[in-house]
Amino acid sequence: MNVSSSAQPNELDLDAIPAPIAIAILGTGAWGSALATLARKRGHQVRVWSRRGEATLAEVVDSAAMIVSALSIKGVPETIARLQSVQLLTDTIIVSATKGLDSTTQFTASQLWQAAYPNHPIVVLSGPNLSEEIQAGLPAATVVASHDRAAAAAVQAALSSDRFRVYTNADPFGTELGGTLKNVIAIAAGVCDGLNLGTNARSGLITRALAEIIRVGTQLGGKPETFFGLSGLGDLLATCTSALSRNYRVGYGLAQGKTLEQILTELQSTAEGVNTTNVLIELADRKGIAVPVSHQVYLLLNGKITPQQAVEALMERDLKQEMVENISSTQSGEST
């Protein structure tokens, strides 16, 4: 799939989209299904794959110009291993739409894909994209990020429509981290609402948590400005304020006295924030990054404190000056 790198990806003419291409969607959960719907509406030849489906992985990716991975983070390493025996087109674009951290390597999904396919362009797709709203045809916006500008523009062209606005940027790691880390904060926001602490408490939590996300993201290599965009602040707001968010529902359920196991059974789907929290704490400890909000979520998920104790711990922290307006302060290691 050849796309000129001189194109202006944020000035896309929807009537000038290239001829339909073959797109393989890996994962048939809510997010994978939503992405498949978007691609079909653009007229592309869409094939979907899941471990429980009848089609083989080789059949689905055969001659695909674009492979979109909407798998859970736990499913990514296994799928990559299976895909390694399959011959891809030399210029196939791999799009990672997974939000999470691998528990074994502490890598993001796109890092796993890049390690396995160093010669293929890797694009990260992330944003405030609640799959149920997208399936219902409600308007949404997202970001596709890659070091390969032409590949990002190609994905933008393939998925953009009058109901789904796609932007590009050149910070795939920051884009991916924003979408990943906000799931941890969504659990905390669910706790706030489950305890009926009010809008003031939730707003304060989200604001301070954004500073925490920026601190983690920039120390790991993301660009500060990325976290104020759709994949950072935008996704944080959507996930922390909607009952459609599975991670929000985890926190809400814990505040209502339910066990984590009970909540996950009721969800009947993956809440990536649970695994991400555990991996994030290991990573933050190793890197020496202060993550007070995420740390309380970690203690709560692991049964070490109650929801009420988590709130009290955050409210009783040492008094300090607000410094979130100064981006450089989030890189200094000061805690939120």
Q: Among all residues, which ones are annotated catalytic?
A: 182
φ/ψ region of 243 (left if φ > 0, alpha if ψ in -120 to 50, else beta) reads alpha
Q: Which residues contact 171 (CB under 8 A, 6 or more apart)?
A: 145, 222, 223, 226
Q: Which residues contact 288 (CB under 8 A, 6 or more apart)?
A: 333
| Distance in angstroms (rounded) separating the CA atoms of residues 21 and 259 | 46
**Residue 33 CB burial class (10 angstroms; 0-12, 13-18, ≥19):** middle
φ/ψ region of 23 (left if φ > 0, alpha if ψ in -120 to 50, else beta) reads beta
Residue in 233, 145, 144, 218 with CA at minimum distance from that of residue 185 = 233
Task: Check: CB of residue 30 under 8 Å from CB of residue 131.
Answer: yes
Q: Which two tokens stand for residue 237?
A: 């707001």
